[in-house]
Structure 1
Amino acid sequence: MTATTRVKLSFMMFLEFFIWGAWFVTLGTYLLRNLNASGTQVGVAFLTQSIGAIVAPFIIGLIADRFFSAQKILGVLHLVGAFLLWRASKAPDFDSFYPNILAYMVAYMPTLALVNSIAFRQMQDPQKEFAPIRVLGTLGWIIAGLTIGWLNWEQSNSLQATFVMAAGASALLGVFSFTLPATPPIKRGQSSSLGQMLGLDAIGLLKNRSYLIFFLASIAICVPLAFYYGFTNPFLNEVGMKGAAGVQSLGQVSELLFMLAIPLFFKRLGVKKMLAIGMAAWVLRYLFFAYGDGMGNYWMLILGIVLHGVCYDFFFVTGQIYTDNLAGEQFKSSAQGFITLATYGVGMLVGTLLSGRIFDSYQLTGGTHDWRMIWLIPAAIAAVVLIVFLLFFRERNTATVPTEVAYGSAPSLAEAG
């Protein structure tokens, strides 16, 4: 890979996740404050991520893999996305905001796979070359959060500007995409069934009892995950944390550090302990949030954010490795698509709808909330999932670590930390 190509791919990754981090982290706060949305409506807004994740395989499978070069589709989707984000910033109420953000997520979610595809196609040794490029994506997310905190948009009630900033970055990436290396379709003239596009041809993995337990646990753990996505930023702002979006970027720093250490932990602990530690971290994180505050227990809020690296890497990255090892060469891609559809599709769908209703149920007079109860509920759900997993999961195979998975080739949808 030439130095020019490396710089272009790194800039692509930076903008890809800067765009997402620029508006997604503070979405709940924006909807509650600026559009007077209910908790249920906030949940419905975050549900667009799940809808986008379900639609993404169709766009990739039907269009990108067969008819048009990936970099051209990436450019068109981001230009369309820039327009939709700009329209969303002008929406006066939730009813006019929602269609724009729904259409945007349908356009954006496929780009997560496209940027990986473009990057991998330029590499001769992805195990060595991908990580230094992909890490720019995490840096982009961090810079977005720090920018929001530095400009004080949360405290000054100026979060509308986050959509304008994201729209500008999306337009830039849209234009820039047409300068990326050519990535022509690799399945031109081939046909795939609906089941293949959704990864359903890997459903045979569920015949393995332990994998079935892991699969169900993955769906269930995404229910408390939805609470974190939707309501962490409103919570931190309500309890008085200054520059909450910037502080939340500590979660991405933690994720990056733990991801680099995954191979070492994986070798020493194995699959079951890694997955269990990840789920236990979710329980602990929500307990920190339940009993933390903006004064004497401020440290609990910080630790809850920093635990993001353990929560995501130990469960989701380990799960990707476990799935990859069980699937075998024939079903590797299908298996990853299958677990993604189940978690970010089904699990997050249930979680976003439930979290919004719970948030509304514990609203107090004066616009405040009983955050202790709001956080204890996902903590309890995660604890139940952990107990069931420990009782029934049996680790029979020693998995090896595919370096490109361990170092983040799959897009982290838990980047919202």
Structure 2
Amino acid sequence: MSTIKIRLGTMMFLQFFIWGGWFVTLGTFLSQNLGADGPQTGMAFSTQSWGAIIAPFFIGLIADRFFNAERILAVLHLIGAVLMYLMAQATDFAAFYPLVLGYMLAYMPTLALVNSVSFGQMQQPEREFGQIRVWGTIGWIAAGLVISYLFGWDAAEAIAAGALQNTFLMCAAASLALGLYSFTLPATPPAARGSQVKLGELLGLDALKLLKDRNFALFFVSSILICIPLAFYYQNANPFLTAVGVENATGKMTLGQVSEVAFMLALPLFLNRFGIRWTLILGMAAWVLRYVLFAYGDAGSGMALLLVGIALHGICYDFFFVSGQIYTNSKAGPAYKSAAQGLITLATYGIGMLIGFSVAGQVTQAYTTAAGADWTQIWLFPAGFAAVVLVLFALIFKNETLAVSAEKQGERHV
């Protein structure tokens, strides 16, 4: 591997080590350390959505026009290090919430910035980017393994002692390291310096005309709706696994990222063999199965059900969301590719997840009493919801041929 790829891979590793190092255990931290209830937990997780909504404005108005991407990346991660340190010191939800909101407003734009820095150094992005991006997934996996198997911060007795506070300190140190390291990255000047700012382009609104196509309109609505079950996983999986007595829950959850890499490799083959319709259907069906397995699994004889449910993450995410990006790219054509991707990102990580985290918080609260959470009922809700979306989608969506070959698009999104 060339020196530049090693440098970019290190950047990606730290970028996603930071996110995976605190976001996975956030729900458990909020309930155990801060005594947060379901709606409050939903509010905390929804800061990701607010960050996703703000990010296009930040990148389009500032990063693409005035400053080098690597310098903005550095400053945002240094700000993030301070906020992450302060989050570790918070003793109640009222003090924690503005900090996590500020952090996500700073962090979410960096997801686009690391891509910009990477693409700026590549001659063939469609072939080279996957080799760099995979180190982000490895970073996420490493964070979970460190938390569970190196430090044991997610063990029952450690959680009771408030050890999850250390995840924020660890990520603060990683943010500081990435912030300083980013100043050494290759210069990535603003690509649109001096160009006219168009609000429609920032939000992807130029691609709204694609909604005239019935298939794409159904996919668009389904993407928003399926984010509700997705939010349940992000928000409740770690607290659930911890509550039912699964040891090293955070480490075991990295099975999801391992499967994500494996199924990403299988995605182009599946698209070619079965088409976009069956690929999307399988992705939604996996959400239904995953939550049924969670509803009836346990840390004893039902442990296999939980592990399979975690490992289904690769199908759940890759076969719906990644194939959805490929489908969107195919439908948009050259003129609206960027606008269409911006629109679908706003719809899913913005609107969809914002609704999803709120619903997950309310449902969790409704099935939680002084005796504890009724996890069976909590998980059956997103299972049933995903099943309804699946049936409607399967009945209405018609299969079609992608305009761009699945192999090339699969390489682009690995």
Equivalent residue for 2:45? 46
1:20-39 alignment, distance < 5 Å: 20-39=19-38
* Cα distance in 2 between the residues matched to 1:403 and 1:15: 29
User: Does structure 1 retain, via aligned residues, the 8 Å contact 2:231–2:357?
Assistant: yes
* Cα distance in 1 between the residues matched to 2:122 and 2:407: 14
Q: Secondary structure at the match of 2:263?
A: helix
* Cα distance in 2 between the residues matched to 1:76 and 1:408: 28
1:104-253 alignment, distance < 5 Å: 104-150=103-149, 151-155=151-155, 156-157=158-159, 158-253=163-258
The worse-fitting range, judged by mean Cα deviation, of 390-399 and 72-81 is 390-399
- What is the percentage of aligned positions where both structures have the same residue? 57
User: Does structure 2 retain, via aligned residues, the 8 Å contact 1:134–1:408?
Assistant: no
Query: What are the Cα deviations for residues 69-128 of structure 1, in whole angstroms up to 9, with x where unaligned?
Result: 000000000000000000111011000000000000000001001101110110001122
Query: What are the Cα deviations for residues 226-268 of structure 1, in whole angstroms up to 9, with x where unaligned?
Result: 1111000000000100010000000000000000111111100
Cα distance, 1:34 vs structure 2: 0.2
* Cα distance in 1 between the residues matched to 2:409 and 2:113: 16
* Cα distance in 2 between the residues matched to 1:301 and 1:81: 33
Letter in 1 for 2:199: L
The worse-fitting range, judged by mean Cα deviation, of 126-135 and 86-95 is 126-135
Equivalent residue for 1:355? 360
Cα distance, 1:192 vs structure 2: 2.2
* Cα distance in 1 between the residues matched to 2:58 and 2:406: 27
Equivalent residue for 2:76? 77
User: Does structure 2 retain, via aligned residues, the 8 Å contact 1:131–1:404?
Assistant: no
User: Does structure 2 retain, via aligned residues, the 8 Å contact 1:127–1:403?
Assistant: no
1:330 equivalent in alignment to 2:329? no
Equivalent residue for 2:325? 320
Gaps of 5+ in 1: 411-417
Change (3 A) 1:114 1:404: farther
1:390 equivalent in alignment to 2:390? no
1:270-281 alignment, distance < 5 Å: 270-281=275-286
Cα distance, 1:131 vs structure 2: 1.1
User: Does structure 2 retain, via aligned residues, the 8 Å contact 1:76–1:174?
Assistant: yes
Letter in 2 for 1:257: A
Gaps of 5+ in 2: none
Letter in 2 for 1:170: S
Letter in 2 for 1:168: A
Equivalent residue for 2:373? 369
Cα distance, 1:408 vs structure 2: 6.2
Q: TM-score w.r.t. structure 1 length?
A: 0.96
Change (3 A) 1:327 1:71: same
Change (3 A) 1:404 1:125: same
* Cα distance in 2 between the residues matched to 1:21 and 1:406: 24
How many residue pairs align between the two structures?
408
Cα distance, 1:193 vs structure 2: 1.5
Equivalent residue for 2:290? 285
Query: What are the Cα deviations for residues 151-189 of structure 1, in whole angstroms up to 9, with x where unaligned?
Result: 110120200000000010001000000100100001110
Change (3 A) 1:282 1:187: same
Cα distance, 1:7 vs structure 2: 1.1
User: Does structure 2 retain, via aligned residues, the 8 Å contact 1:271–1:399?
Assistant: no
User: Does structure 2 retain, via aligned residues, the 8 Å contact 1:56–1:106?
Assistant: yes
Cα distance, 1:397 vs structure 2: 3.0
Letter in 2 for 1:101: V
The worse-fitting range, judged by mean Cα deviation, of 49-58 and 398-407 is 398-407
